[in-house]
Structure 1
Amino acid sequence: MSIGRTIRIYLDDGSITGIRHAEIVNWTGQAISAPRTQLKALAGWPESNKPGVYFLFGIDDDSGSQAVYIGEAENVLERLGQHLTGKDFWNEVVFFTSKDENLTKSHVKYLESRLVEQARAANRYVLLNGNSPQLPSLPRGDRDSMEEFIGNLRTLLGVIGHKALEPVARHEKVKQEQVVIPNPAEETTVQAFTLNHKKLKANAIVNNEGIVVLQGSEVSSETVNSLPEGYKKLRQQLQDNGTIANISGRLIFTRDHLFTSPTQAAAIIVGYSINGRTCWFDKQDRSIKDLEEQTAPD
């Protein structure tokens, strides 16, 4: 069963683009988001002079995509000051510290290692960490506490506006059946769909962000001239970054990929304009359109 949470966000100057302090009710952790231009103002925030982990967000120079660098420090503000001269790409920092004094150097090193691992697995942002930090050894109780900290951290980071740690799909297996997300705190059921086109087969699941085409799904090697330019560019981008690759003479998805709509996903796969809401079917041979009409309010 999903568990609701209460989150408080304080806008320091009343602006959503200024310094923001976020917290989950009854959790000792806290998040502060600040634009690079207001880093000096963080000196007035005692929360920034504690041990913690931080995310630097900006744009990757090479790809033009959203990028993130993840780090840790015994004093977050001091480390951020070093990044003013050492790293140019970022324009926003989000850091996490504790309201009490229970986060130690070993704790934040553990957090850094696990967060880099999760960001790399999510593959939503270009990760600018050159190496994966070594995971320090912690007592079992401390380790479990840090894993709980990461769960709340991920929630706050998403609320602030960054899904860098969110996998595009949470699933243990996908056939034409119900797929249960394994995290009990976020337990829900999503529907698996299949698109069969000539000799192609693609699998996907629908979630709150759109539709996720799953690794191993097949893609047509041909496109028609009438395919909209936006779809042509996206298809080429997916091939350029390796999301779609030629393997043994077939184009396939090498990893899960989130699309904004079933139609966008289907058009990329078959190579021409198609109504995605009528070509993705579940185990009971119901299309997405059929299911939407069944659940539409009267």
Structure 2
Amino acid sequence: MPIGKSIRVFLADSTVSGIRYAELVNWTGQAVACPRSRLTELTSWPEASKPGVYLLFEARLGDSKPLAYIGESENVTERLTTHDRLKEFWNEVVIFTSKDENLTKAHVKFLEATLVGLTRRADRYELENGNTPPESSLPRADRDAMAEFTENIRMVLGTLGYPILEPLLKATIPVAQPSGSTPQELARKSSAIDLTFKVNNLLAHGTLTDEGFVLKKGSQVSKFNTDSAAQRVVKVKEQLVADGRLVAQDDHLVLQEDFLLSSSSYAAVMVAGTSRSGPQSWISSDGRTLKSIEDAAVNDA
């Protein structure tokens, strides 16, 4: 069972868009988030002038993947003010250093390589990094310590609004449950169930997550949209085609990667190209509609 964590965020000037300092309780690591427009103020933050890793983030614009860059330095503030400030795309940086002096150059290079690899696998951002940097050689104990450090970075980044290391889909569970499972337990697990939607010779797969509804890679999508289709969804579909994430195949489109939408209905509209009810459209392999699964969760709560 996962253990709860406490994260403290200090707003330096009482604004959520200004400089923020974040830390996990009982963790030697620390984070400083800073808008690009206030980069010069980092010189007064000793927490940012240590060996560490940093992530440059582009503001999310429309439905295109935002850009990001991951780097490391023995003095992050100096690196940012003399080099990476010249990169044009980013509007905020998040820096991770240690409260003690135990984070070395080898450690931060290892963290950089790990973060780049995890970001590429999560596939939420377009990385400006060219190649994945090689991992530095560390003793086994240090590698385990950096694995824990990385996990804490993941949690802090997500809390600050950057789920760059979070895969859209966790491991799914089969619909067939152990005989001892109660209806309430099944309802709690419903968000991991694979759901399908069949319409007009199209077949799409998806699943509920804590963030919304994920339309899965390989789903077939209508090329056409009726007037009843939500214009918000139509615009998203057009952007996915322009980005190459929806590719024409025969008389339909095929999704090239998992894609997050805010609701099951939006996902159904994207697939069908017409107005649809998601809870009524998406079906589990045992024949239950998403609506029946959600109703069960409410009744058994």
TM-score past 0.5 threshold: yes
Q: Tell me the equivalent position of 1:210.
A: 212
| 1:59 Cα deviation after fit | 4.4
Q: CA RMSD in A?
A: 2.3
| 1:210 Cα deviation after fit | 0.5
**Pair 1:156-2:156 in alignment:** yes
| 1:89 Cα deviation after fit | 2.2
| 1:12 Cα deviation after fit | 1.4
Q: Tell me the equivalent position of 1:38.
A: 38
| 1:74 Cα deviation after fit | 0.5
Q: What whole-Å deviation, never above 9, does each CA across 1:194-235 have from its counterpart, x for those lacking one? A: 112242221111111111111122222333243232222111
Out of 229, 254, 257, which is 1:255 matched to?
257
Out of 264, 268, 271, which is 2:270 matched to?
268
Q: Check the 8 A contact 2:64/2:239 in 1, yes or no.
A: no
Residues in 1 aligned to 2:283 and 2:64: alpha-carbon distance in whole angstroms: 35
Out of 245, 255, 269, which is 1:243 matched to?
245
Residues in 1 aligned to 2:9 and 2:198: alpha-carbon distance in whole angstroms: 46
Residues in 2 aligned to 1:203 and 1:85: alpha-carbon distance in whole angstroms: 42
| 1:283 Cα deviation after fit | 2.9
Higher mean alpha-carbon deviation, 207-216 vs 126-135, is at 126-135
Go from structure 1 to structure 2 and tell me whether the alpha carbon gap of 1:195 and 1:85 turns closer, same or farther (over 3 Å shift).
Answer: closer
The count of aligned residue pairs is 287
| 1:123 Cα deviation after fit | 2.2
Residues in 1 aligned to 2:96 and 2:87: alpha-carbon distance in whole angstroms: 20
Kindly provide the amino acid, as one letter, of the partner of residue 108 in structure 2.
V
Residues in 2 aligned to 1:174 and 1:293: alpha-carbon distance in whole angstroms: 20
Q: Check the 8 A contact 1:111/1:146 in 2, yes or no.
A: yes
Kindly provide the amino acid, as one letter, of the partner of residue 31 in structure 2.
A
| 1:175 Cα deviation after fit | 6.2
Higher mean alpha-carbon deviation, 245-254 vs 267-276, is at 245-254
Q: Check the 8 A contact 1:50/1:74 in 2, yes or no.
A: yes
Q: Check the 8 A contact 2:218/2:254 in 1, yes or no.
A: yes
Residues in 2 aligned to 1:177 and 1:254: alpha-carbon distance in whole angstroms: 28
Residues in 1 aligned to 2:55 and 2:22: alpha-carbon distance in whole angstroms: 15
Kindly provide the amino acid, as one letter, of the partner of residue 284 in structure 2.
D
**Pair 1:70-2:70 in alignment:** yes
SS in 2 for 1:31: strand
Kindly provide the amino acid, as one letter, of the partner of residue 103 in structure 2.
L
Q: Check the 8 A contact 1:176/1:194 in 2, yes or no.
A: no
Residues in 2 aligned to 1:200 and 1:229: alpha-carbon distance in whole angstroms: 21
Q: Check the 8 A contact 1:215/1:255 in 2, yes or no.
A: yes
In the alignment, structure 2 segments of 5+ residues that lack a partner are: 178-188
Q: Tell me the equivalent position of 1:234.
A: 236
Q: Check the 8 A contact 2:5/2:24 in 1, yes or no.
A: yes
Kindly provide the amino acid, as one letter, of the partner of residue 12 in structure 1.
A
Residues in 2 aligned to 1:45 and 1:53: alpha-carbon distance in whole angstroms: 15
| 1:103 Cα deviation after fit | 1.1
| 1:276 Cα deviation after fit | 0.7
Q: Tell me the equivalent position of 1:182.
A: none
Go from structure 1 to structure 2 and tell me whether the alpha carbon gap of 1:64 and 1:190 turns closer, same or farther (over 3 Å shift).
Answer: closer
| 1:155 Cα deviation after fit | 0.3
Residues in 1 aligned to 2:233 and 2:153: alpha-carbon distance in whole angstroms: 35
Residues in 2 aligned to 1:244 and 1:85: alpha-carbon distance in whole angstroms: 34
| 1:67 Cα deviation after fit | 1.9
Kindly provide the amino acid, as one letter, of the partner of residue 119 in structure 2.
A
Kindly provide the amino acid, as one letter, of the partner of residue 261 in structure 1.
S
Kindly provide the amino acid, as one letter, of the partner of residue 251 in structure 1.
L
Runs of 4+ displaced beyond 3 Å: 173-178, 247-250
Residues in 1 aligned to 2:126 and 2:92: alpha-carbon distance in whole angstroms: 15
Q: Check the 8 A contact 2:70/2:129 in 1, yes or no.
A: yes
Residue correspondence of structure 1 range 131-210 to structure 2 within 5 A: 131-171=131-171, 176=175, 190-210=192-212
**Pair 1:109-2:90 in alignment:** no
Kindly provide the amino acid, as one letter, of the partner of residue 108 in structure 1.
V
SS in 2 for 1:16: coil
Residues in 2 aligned to 1:174 and 1:238: alpha-carbon distance in whole angstroms: 28
Residues in 1 aligned to 2:84 and 2:244: alpha-carbon distance in whole angstroms: 33
Residues in 2 aligned to 1:68 and 1:198: alpha-carbon distance in whole angstroms: 39
Residues in 2 aligned to 1:3 and 1:118: alpha-carbon distance in whole angstroms: 22
| 1:176 Cα deviation after fit | 5.0
Kindly provide the amino acid, as one letter, of the partner of residue 224 in structure 2.
E
**Pair 1:18-2:22 in alignment:** no
| 1:58 Cα deviation after fit | 2.1
Percent of aligned pairs with the same amino acid: 43
Kindly provide the amino acid, as one letter, of the partner of residue 103 in structure 1.
L
Q: What whole-Å deviation, never above 9, does each CA across 1:241-286 have from its counterpart, x for those lacking one? A: 1222234665222211111100111111111110111111123322
Kindly provide the amino acid, as one letter, of the partner of residue 224 in structure 1.
T
